[in-house]
Amino acid sequence: MELPAEFTDRMRRLLGDEYNDFATALLSEPQTSLRLNPAKCNGRPDYQPVSWCRDAYYIETRPAFTFDPRLHGGVYYVQEASSMFLDYVLRRFVDTPVRYLDLCAAPGGKSTLALSALPAGSLVVCNEVVRNRTHILAENVIKWGYDNTIVTRNTAADFGKLHHYFDVILVDAPCSGEGMFRKDTQATTEWSPAQVGVCAERQREILSDVWDALRPGGLLIYSTCTYNREENEDMIRFLCDHFDATPLAAAPPAAWHIHPSLDKELPAYRFMPHYTRGEGLFMAIVRKPGNADECERDEWLQRAVRKNGKNRNKRPTAKGDTEVWRSWVSAPEKYVFDTDDESVTALPTSLVPDYDLFATRFDIVHRGIPVASRKGREWQAAPRTRLVDQPQYRSLRCVTPHDRRSHSLPAARNMADTHRYPARHAPRYLRRPPAGLVQSLGQPHQQPLPAGVAHTQRLPPRKSQPPRMVKI
């Protein structure tokens, strides 16, 4: 990898005597790490854990994840280790249900992490302004399997009009990407000092646009995957000088070897490849001044309920149809079912006012849990998902294509055999939120499992109609 000369000069000035160690680290192989889904996985693999994330692990080699049904079923998410520092930050600063916005969310790594880390009862809004990236984000959020989600396609300025609504906002800002040079060598050819300036200007604009959406006393978490001061410390200074924000210290353990801020009086956290097992990352937390009692959120929600509540489920639905898809949920009283002629979505009752608010003001790509879709005259489980009941888990033995050694990862008992059953045969139970979603992989001849994946147990073949509901 050939680094741009201007980049190396800037890093020499930034790091001083540490530069040689930094340059050597960039020549090493990048680390591969993954994060397990606690809603779908209760086991622990025999891998080294990522210190700052409760459910994350390093793996020695990088297998062919694309062919692993557990990845497509949301059992785990492949994510860069440094970016999972968000888990530590959320667990340290958030201990009650919140309205949370991930403003620049695609492809969904930090959004799915927040779904697992935030207290029950929280609402997680995942936004991406780029259209094709929005659909990738929605797919990953759906596979993760939580019902307290909304995926939107809007600008930061759109959210800024929703004054004082969010308790926590994450701005994982578009940046020059210096921290990804080791993983994406192509990025080195696109880097320039001019690009750094363009990114910094865009970041200031994004922060200014979304600031009004944060309630008084709320938290803004700012992160980038770059090293320079202009996109990192200078941005936190901007928030302090223009919006009177207060930086907060997360105080991670010294054993984690997280590099401190370049400004000693400014608490912020830098992940450097010669200090930590991961790529480059900058993260800082600031608090908005003011009292939480000044929040305008209740007014927004009351107006939304008055405007939208009367219009919900205006289209008549046959009683027989209703019984079909409601029977797939064991506790339908906990949900409001949003229906139209083609689909059914389950929305947690406690969050319905929030869903009503977003329906009137934002471009929604996904919300809640997809339950059913209509095919002809019949209802069937949503095409890409199955509703599952607090699945029991086991380990599948997966042989990596690199060294042919067997590795064990926790996986849902139904994941191994999902491919054997067509989507129309959906399990009939959904016991308690968060609802686990397992992607339907189709028939064996359509979606065979890759070589090297062995099942420790096979369910018996499905008998003739009516289908037998097998609790797995």
What amino acid positions are annotated as catalytic residues?
Answer: 225
Three state DSSP letters for 80-107: CCHHHHHHHHHHHHCCCCCEEEECCCCC
According to DSSP H, which parts of 268-388 are helical? 297-308, 319-326, 352-361
Identity at 153, one-letter amino acid code: R
Lookup: tokens for 468? 């037998």
Q: 34 pairs with which residues across the strands?
A: 57, 78
Tell me: cis bond preceding 289? Omega within 30 of 0 counts.
no
**Closest C-alpha to 427, from 400, 377, 462, 454:** 462
Strands (E), 165-213: 166-172
**Closest C-alpha to 154, from 125, 116, 178:** 125
Do the Cβ atoms of 134 and 110 come closer than 8 Å? no
Tell me: cis bond preceding 30? Omega within 30 of 0 counts.
no
Please give the Cα distance from 158 to 383 (Å, whole number): 31
Tell me: cis bond preceding 461? Omega within 30 of 0 counts.
no
Please give the Cα distance from 80 to 223 (Å, whole number): 14
Provide the sign of the torsion angle of the four alpha carbons 156, 158, 162, 163, taken in this order: positive
Starting at the edge strand found earlier in the chain, the sheet holding 32-36 runs 56-59, 32-36, 76-78
Lookup: tokens for 238? 């901007």
